Amino acid sequence: MHEASLVQGLLDLALKSVHEHNDAHPERRIARIEELVCEMGLIACVEERTLQACFELFAEGTEAEGATLTLNTAPLACRCEDCGQSFELRHRHFVCPQCGSENIHFSGGHGLTLQSLRVDTEEAHHD
C-alpha cells in the first residue's frame, strides 16, 4: 500500500522535528502534535481516505496521536500546446479554459509535502 509508506515518511519527518526541537529547547518542549498540514499534488496517486486511516493507525502511541492530517491540493501549472495559454488546474479536468483543447502540457503534480506542524507545548499546561 503506497499510502502506508507515505504516511510513515511524513510521520518520521514530523516526529524527528519534534525530537530535535525538544533536545534543543528542553525549557519549551513540544508535548504533542495537533496538526500536520500537507500539500498534495493534483495528480498524486493517493487515496485520501486511505491516507487518513493510515495516519490515524501509525500515529497511535506517538506525539501525533489524535492529530489532524490536513491535506491541501496544490494547483497544477499547465500550458496549452494549441493556443499557448498558461493556466493552473485545480481539479482533474484536463482541458484548456481558453480554447477547450485537451492538448496541454504539465509537469509535476505527484508530490506530497509536509508544509507545517501545529503543536502543543508543555509550558502551555503550566498556567
Is the pLDDT at 115 greater than 90? The verdict is yes
* DSSP characters over 75-102: PEEEEETTT--EEEESSS--S-TTT--S
Residue 102 lies in a domain: no
Set of cell numbers at residue 97 = 479554459
Is the pLDDT at 124 greater than 70? The verdict is no
29 is in which domain, residue-wise?
2-74+108-126
Is the pLDDT at 1 greater than 60? The verdict is no
pTM for the full predicted model: 0.81
Residue from 47, 50, 16, 46 nearest 33 by CA: 16
At position 55, the amino acid (one-letter code) is F
Q: Choose between 81 and 1: higher pLDDT.
A: 81
For residue 111, give the 3-state DSSP assignment: coil
Number of domains in the chain: 1
Residue 99 lies in a domain: no
